[in-house]
């Protein structure tokens, strides 16, 4: 990293860690509505008791406050409390190239933007990009994000910068490197060295865990794919892959490998590892059966699918086949906001519009997808995704005194249709308060913004993206 980013990293880490040592003795988080994503689904005038990094009790506020009279009480009598949101798919590698290349479908978008940027990303841009994207995620209630960083491998590892950024933010992450050897001159050995560096960084982290990333089946030669499968089966917590996002992808694999990408993954053993498949827009009945029989989770990315005109994920069909589906905000260059509340609302509306059916996806189901079902898609539902004793203390408090939530007739609909980032009052990750009264703790946000502007301008110049030359260089 440059000297400026080293100083920024040290300042963020020091301030953030000093704050994270608060509230170790246990406390109550109160809400008029506690939406558990478990049973019962809702507790009126409820509370969650947190001890350390774990949920100790969930119940009525009257009961818990009587049993633990000395506990500090946070939240409030009009607030809504939910589990932390699970972002099942994203790309911090795109954080510095937002709001560009809107007129391209996926294949051309990859060629003109992602392929141009990938050779020029480094650990510094990974760190700052993760901070920039992660700040937005925390402000919209995301407490765990599943990331795939897409860059060209080199002699110096890039992706550990993502782990550095997550640690500085206090945000949980499943981290992967989107490996590919489709471009001439790409070194397979360097790609697996990047996997290894990211795996080592995650192993030394308190908040990150590693998965093997595969950009797409088409992005890897059969020999590299086989090596990825072997690596995943022995040295990772699972797999993160794009599948069936576009018709072009499917047709290419059918012509070159004589089956669909999903069938190819199943036949070659990839699904033996816990797998999260992003997008899954274009599916046959046979594809759906394979996903279901192998327990593959799916990331539904409604905003990016609409921007890139990729199509609509058949959410009802997948969930009807007992496939776990979570929401994804996708990358900052294809969404372009890292806003989970926007993704949830848009995702519900898109399903209703696509099916011309007002019951295609309910607010209650959408909240489950954003929490416990997203956790299940990642095979993490025993640890996160719901408000239950013994699970991680990842919670969101929505401000019930805000105008948008002044009149709550149905709290599920209030969260999905009414709430936005302004209503996110507090966010807790592993028992540590990361957002307090709407403000991110322990991070100098203006400093991150200033540094991102400098890096984004340099990146645009190196990548030959003339449209980004208008980025401001001053704070």
Query: How far from 90 is each of 114, 282, 300, 336, CA to CA, in Å?
Result: 14, 20, 11, 11
| Shared domain check, 419 and 286 | no
Q: Which of 323, 357, 377 is the last residue of a domain?
A: 377
Per-residue pLDDT of the chain (475 residues; tens, 9 = 90+): 565 556 466 556 544 444 444 445 799 999 999 999 999 999 999 999 999 999 999 999 999 999 999 999 999 999 999 999 999 999 999 999 999 988 899 999 999 999 999 999 999 999 999 999 999 999 999 999 999 999 999 889 999 999 999 999 999 999 999 999 987 777 899 999 999 999 999 999 999 999 999 999 999 999 999 999 999 998 878 999 999 999 999 999 999 999 999 999 999 999 999 999 999 999 999 999 999 999 999 999 999 999 999 999 999 999 999 999 999 999 999 999 999 999 999 999 999 999 999 999 999 999 999 999 999 999 999 999 999 999 999 999 999 999 999 999 999 999 999 999 999 999 999 999 999 999 999 999 999 999 999 999 999 999 998 753 444 344 4
Instruction: Compute the distance between CA of residue 31 and CA of residue 75 in angstroms, rounded to an integer.
Output: 6
Q: List the beta bridge partners of residue 31.
A: 46
CATH number of 250's domain: 3.20.20.140
| Shared domain check, 276 and 261 | yes
| Shared domain check, 330 and 241 | yes
| Shared domain check, 299 and 226 | yes
| Shared domain check, 132 and 222 | yes
Residue 136, in any domain of the structure: yes
| Shared domain check, 321 and 370 | yes
CATH number of 75's domain: 2.30.40.10
The secondary structure of 320-366, three-state, reads HCCCCEEECCCCCCCCCCCCHHHHHHHHHHHHHHHHCCCCCCCHHHH
**DSSP assignments along 133-177, one per residue:** HHHHHHHTTEEEEEEEE-----SS--THHHHHHHHHHT-EEEEEE
- Domain around 157: 85-377
Instruction: Compute the distance between CA of residue 457 and CA of residue 473 in angstroms, rounded to an integer.
Output: 7
Instruction: Compute the distance between CA of residue 305 and CA of residue 310 in angstroms, rounded to an integer.
Output: 5
Residue 355, in any domain of the structure: yes
| Shared domain check, 117 and 149 | yes
| Shared domain check, 177 and 51 | no
Residue 426, in any domain of the structure: yes
* DSSP annotation of 272: G
Residue 10, in any domain of the structure: no
| Shared domain check, 229 and 161 | yes
Q: List the beta bridge partners of residue 241.
A: 214, 277
| Shared domain check, 141 and 108 | yes
Residue 433, in any domain of the structure: yes
Residue 36, in any domain of the structure: yes
pTM confidence score: 0.94
Number of domains into which the chain is organized:
2
* Backbone dihedral region for residue 80 (phi beyond 0: left; psi -120 to 50: alpha; all else: beta): beta
| Shared domain check, 256 and 107 | yes
H-run or E-run covering 298: strand 297-300
* DSSP annotation of 95: T
**DSSP assignments along 55-88, one per residue:** EEEEEEHHHHHHHSTTSEEEE-TT-EEEEPEEEE
Q: What is the CA radius of gyration of the chain?
A: 21
Cβ proximity of 173 and 145 under 8 Å: yes
Ramachandran angles phi, psi of 375, nearest 5°:
-65, -40
Instruction: Compute the distance between CA of residue 252 and CA of residue 215 in angstroms, rounded to an integer.
Output: 15
Residue 455, in any domain of the structure: no
Q: Could you tell me which residues come within 8 angstroms of residue 186 by beta carbon, excluding any fewer than 6 positions away?
A: 152, 153, 180
Minimal CA–CA distance to 126: which of 84, 89, 94, 174?
A: 94
| Shared domain check, 244 and 278 | yes
Q: Is 258 exposed, middle or buried (0-12, 13-18, 19+ CB in 10 A)?
A: exposed
Residue 229, in any domain of the structure: yes
Instruction: Compute the distance between CA of residue 14 and CA of residue 5 in angstroms, rounded to an integer.
Output: 14
Ramachandran angles phi, psi of 73, nearest 5°:
-110, 125
């Amino acid at each position: 990293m440059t000297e400026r980013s080293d100083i920024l990293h040290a300042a963020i880490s020091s301030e953030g860690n000093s704050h994270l040592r608060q509230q170790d003795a246990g406390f109550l988080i109160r809400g008029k509505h506690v939406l558990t994503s478990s049973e019962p689904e809702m507790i009126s005038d409820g509370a969650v008791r947190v001890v350390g990094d774990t949920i100790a009790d969930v119940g009525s506020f009257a009961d818990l406050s009587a049993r633990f009279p000395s506990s500090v009480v946070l939240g409030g009598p009009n607030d809504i409390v939910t589990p932390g949101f699970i972002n099942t798919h994203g790309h911090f590698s795109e954080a510095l190239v937002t709001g560009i290349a809107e007129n391209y479908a996926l294949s051309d978008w990859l060629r003109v933007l992602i392929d141009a940027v990938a050779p020029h990303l480094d650990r510094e841009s990974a760190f700052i990009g993760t901070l920039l994207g992660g700040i937005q995620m925390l402000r919209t209630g995301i407490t765990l994000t599943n990331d795939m960083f897409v860059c060209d491998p080199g002699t110096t590892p890039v992706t550990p910068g993502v782990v550095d950024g997550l640690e500085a933010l206090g945000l949980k992450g499943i981290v992967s490197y989107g490996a590919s050897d489709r471009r001439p001159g790409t070194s397979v050995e360097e790609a697996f060295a990047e996997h290894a560096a990211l795996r080592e960084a995650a192993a030394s982290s308190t908040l990150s865990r590693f998965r093997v990333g595969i950009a797409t089946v088409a992005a890897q030669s059969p020999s590299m794919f086989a090596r990825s499968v072997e690596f995943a089966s022995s040295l990772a917590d699972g797999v993160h892959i794009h599948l069936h996002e576009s018709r072009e992808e499917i047709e290419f694999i059918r012509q070159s490998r004589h089956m669909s990408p999903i069938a190819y993954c199943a036949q070659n053993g990839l699904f033996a590892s816990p797998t999260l498949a992003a997008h899954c827009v274009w599916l046959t009945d046979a594809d759906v059966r394979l996903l279901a029989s192998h327990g593959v989770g799916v990331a539904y990315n409604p905003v990016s699918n609409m921007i890139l005109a990729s199509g609509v994920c058949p959410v009802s069909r997948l969930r009807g086949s007992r496939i776990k589906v979570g929401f994804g905000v996708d990358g900052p260059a294809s969404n372009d906001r890292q806003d989970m509340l926007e993704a949830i609302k848009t995702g519900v509306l898109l399903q209703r519009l696509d099916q011309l059916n007002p019951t295609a996806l309910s607010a209650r189901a959408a909240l489950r997808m954003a929490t416990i079902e997203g956790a299940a898609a990642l095979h993490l539902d025993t640890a996160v995704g719901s408000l239950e004793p013994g699970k991680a203390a990842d919670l969101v408090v929505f401000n019930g005194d805000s105008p948008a939530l002044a009149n709550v007739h149905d709290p599920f609909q209030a969260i999905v249709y009414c709430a936005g980032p302004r209503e996110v009052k507090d966010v807790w990750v592993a028992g540590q308060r990361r957002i307090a009264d709407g403000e991110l703790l322990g991070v100098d946000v203006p400093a991150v913004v200033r540094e991102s502007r400098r890096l984004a301008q340099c990146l645009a110049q190196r990548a030959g993206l003339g449209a980004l030359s208008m980025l401001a260089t001053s704070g």
